[in-house]
Amino acid sequence: MNNWDIPEWLEREVKERDKICVYCGIQMVEQMSPRGTRKAVATWEHIINDATIVSRENIARCCAACNSSKGTKKLSDWIQSSYCKKRGIKKETVAEVVKEALKREMRAEV
């Protein structure tokens, strides 16, 4: 279960698709292990910060570290943040679903 009214079919589909963080690409874990850090725990993410867009294009899974860094920032702004620079996260390195969202975001701005 999740807190975001994500339908079960979508939850399953996205879990199947996003095994690694859609942003930084690390292997995520479902739950924090006793020895692990919270950073790698898988979290639900609205790629575009609009909770009304519940689709396979906007719902993704990313690690807790990326999620808390991104927060409510716009994707195209966040991708240029020092967090992303430090980790080598660029629009070329993110998952396909994020690339598509970035393209949509850019188009919307024009």
In the complex, the smallest distance separating the C-beta of residue 1 from Zn ion, rounded to whole angstroms, is: 22
Q: Which residue has the tokens 């859609």?
A: 22
For Zn ion, the closer of residues 5 and 17 by Cβ is 17
Q: Which residue, 14 or 66, is less far from Zn ion as judged by CB?
A: 66
Please, which residue, 58 or 94, has the CB nearer to Zn ion? Answer: 94
Cβ at position 37, least distance to Zn ion in Å: 12
CA distances from 43 to 36, 65, 104 (A): 15, 9, 23
Beta carbons of 43 and 61 less than 8 angstroms apart: yes
Give the binding site for Zn ion (CB under 5 A).
21, 23-24, 62-63, 66
The alpha helices in the chain, defined as continuous H runs, are 8-17, 64-70, 75-78, 82-87, 96-109
Q: Report in angstroms how near the CB of residue 59 gets to Zn ion at its nearest.
A: 16
Nearest residue (CB) to Zn ion, 58 versus 70: 70
Min separation Cβ 24 and Zn ion, Å = 3
Query: Residue 75 burial by CB count (10 A; 0-12/13-18/19+): exposed, middle or buried?
Result: buried
